[in-house]
A and B are shown apart, each in its own frame.
Chain A
Amino acid sequence: MAGLTLRNVGKRYGALSIIQGLNLDIHDGEFLVLVGPSGCGKSTLLRMIAGLEDISEGTISIGGKVVNDLPASKRELSMVFQSYALYPHMSVRKNLAFGLQNFKVSRAEVERRVAEAARILQIEQLMDRKPRQLSGGQKQRVAIGRSIVREPQLFLFDEPLSNLDAELRVQMRAELASLYARLGTTMIYVTHDQVEAMTMASRIVVLRGGKIEQLGTPQELYTRPQNLFVAGFIGSPKINMLQAKATRDAGRTVVSVAGMPDFAIAELPTDDQALTLCVRPASLRVGSGDVTGQGTIRLVEYLGSETLLHITLSSGQVLLASDNGRAPYRMGDPVTIGFDLSDLHYFDGAGKRIEPTQKESQIQ
């Protein structure tokens, strides 16, 4: 096992900069998820760590050793690809053993490790099949098995579940989590799916445009997003964003949101007048809250455990509220919608998180 350190790491293709001055410390035994929208550089970063892409600048160290110039095979890591990258002409057994044979591992040891991986992943009955005879989930298990047999210090996963159907994805997610718990090896996992990131990660790195937007535990990202991008990216259903106006008044800040009554909070450390105010759908309440306003239900999405309500305020702004699903809502019903001040996230004009100087606040 080993930790990983990235210092000022950058990647350029000609004039195009994919990753810029990235610094990151990944702890030994951590499950770190790189998440971000398409083209944010997460897969490129993973491939740079793997040694499949050159680094334009900076250093990458694994277990304290700089690996910039080490070929992929010498970095003591293994990688699971999105496409599984199984050798189609080889049986499952040969696929598992192929890599080990390059490292002069004795035949008995190869057999032992292959059998052990097959047992862990429950693919013993598939060993003589070819990849084309396997289902998507089975292929994924074999691909993971191929990584396990190497007994690497670092596992890399490049969107390994994105080719699976929804049900299988949930199942494999749980299996990966239990595999991590069992092996305890450092894992770096790339995904664009924030649910995968939230459910599996020890810590999450949210990337955008080749830069880190925020690094933190899933809880930190959810409860204290550092900017608007992270607030919008993490959390499902998506967070509500409201345009607000801030006015300073005798040590307080009065916040005005169209369609809601004005309210005052402790002073916000910004001179900006235009703010963005975010509130998660689960924090919006029907009928109560520190601040309440009137709206109309535009759409009801009943999901069983919860009901998603699309509510239009008098200003025309649409809010998404998640309710426990017990009350019988109907489209077109008038509704009182509210939130508690402690559930609000404030972002300045540049989209950066700001906090009221004091927690206690009062309604005007």
Chain B
Amino acid sequence: MKRFFARNAPAYIFLLPWLIGFFLLALGPILASLYLSFTRYDMVSAPRWIGWGNYEYMFTRDRRFWKALEVTFTYVALAVPARLIMALGVAMLLDKGLRTIGLYRAIFYLPSLLGASIAIAILWRQLFAADGVVNQVLAMVGIQGASWITDPDTSLYTLVVLAMWQFGSPMLIFLAGLRGIPRDLYEAAEIDGTPGWRQFTRITLPLLAPVIFFNLVLQTIDSFKTFSSAFIISNGTGAPADSLLFYTVYLFNEAFKFFRMGYASALAWFLLVIIATFTAIAFFTSKYWVHYENERD
């Protein structure tokens, strides 16, 4: 034992900052929140154990919880495919071999760097406001635009459009995937008279499946966690008419506005269960549609 430490001490010393960070800032709070989810805790008095009380309330009596789920699921169902289709489309255009591809890649990636920032969410709010740029452009062609953000029927869609605009990171991954498909497969298909659309559905999509799968999982997780854009655009309330009450916004308000830390912890853990379930479903179904070049038989 002594010798083990003597030999490995330098390694552990170098690992120490990370270990401290992990145990104090990650694992500790994670376990604490699991405990808190079974308590009533307002940050002033000590947590009080209530067993499954928070979860019971969540599923049986909390209407806003169900509304938040509805908003979030709708958003995920729309934003993930929209962003992936956009990302794949742009990646395919870039893959066609533009001369200044590096520049375009950087330009197209930019929204992703900015996308999650507060500034862009504020900009989005102004673009889609009743007298915003979008409506001004529509007015030029004689269309009377809606009040996109304040109308509960359209507010969520403005966020879906924002999500689409943030296609940069999946696009880069798609582009790398497209580059990995051997060109002579397309040439063989060309000689065999395969039309472009069939090349896309029979060659590109199947060979890109591992990358699509990777992006799908990553983007689904990301979309379930969407917070800052929804928070800014709805002024932190989920308004109008709770149409932007994203799960994370609701969770944040429960925690830091109403100081129901126990309940917020329960919400957070349920979100983890949702994300884990979706990821598991994706992995389970992947064997039916994802082809890996090097998989073992």
Cα(A133)–Cα(B203), bound, Å: 19
Report B193-221 CB contacts with A as 1/0, cut-off 8 Å.
11100100011001101000000000000
Q: Nearest chain-B residue to A98 (Cβ)?
A: B192
Q: Does A214 contact B (CB under 8 A)?
A: no
Q: Which of B189, B193, B291 interacts with A89 by CB under 8 Å?
A: B291
Q: Nearest chain-B residue to A78 (Cβ)?
A: B191
Cα(A132)–Cα(B207), bound, Å: 14
Q: How large is the interface on A (under 10, 10 to 19, 20 to 34, 35 or more residues)?
A: 20 to 34
Q: Does A71 contact B (CB under 8 A)?
A: yes
- Assuming the contacts A102-B195, A132-B294, asked whether A52 and B190 have C-beta atoms less than 8 A apart, the reply is yes
Q: Which of A83, A85, A88 interacts with B291 by CB under 8 Å?
A: A88
Cα(A160)–Cα(B291), bound, Å: 26
Q: Nearest chain-A residue to B185 (Cβ)?
A: A85
- Assuming the contacts A81-B187, A83-B182, A89-B291, asked whether A99 and B194 have C-beta atoms less than 8 A apart, the reply is yes
Q: Shortest distance in angstroms between A167's beta carbon and chain B's nearest beta carbon?
A: 25
A89 contact set on B, CB distance < 8 A: 206-207, 209, 291
A13 contact set on B, CB distance < 8 A: none
Q: Does B56 contact A (CB under 8 A)?
A: no
Q: Does A92 contact B (CB under 8 A)?
A: no
- Assuming the contacts A102-B198, A133-B297, asked whether A85 and B188 have C-beta atoms less than 8 A apart, the reply is yes
Inter-subunit contact B191/A77 (CB<8 Å): yes
Residues of B within 8 A of A (CB): 182, 184-185, 187-195, 198, 202-203, 206-207, 209, 291, 293-294, 297
Residues of A within 8 A of B (CB): 50-52, 71-74, 77-79, 81, 83, 85, 87-89, 98-99, 102-103, 132-133, 146, 150
22 sampled A-B residue pairs with Cβ under 8 A: A51-B191, A52-B190, A52-B191, A71-B190, A72-B190, A72-B191, A73-B191, A73-B192, A78-B192, A79-B188, A79-B191, A83-B184, A85-B182, A87-B185, A87-B203, A88-B291, A89-B206, A89-B209, A98-B192, A102-B198, A132-B294, A150-B192
Additional 15 contacts, C-beta under 8 A, given A85-B182, A85-B185 = A50-B187, A52-B191, A73-B191, A73-B192, A73-B193, A73-B194, A81-B188, A87-B202, A89-B207, A98-B192, A99-B189, A99-B191, A99-B193, A132-B293, A146-B192
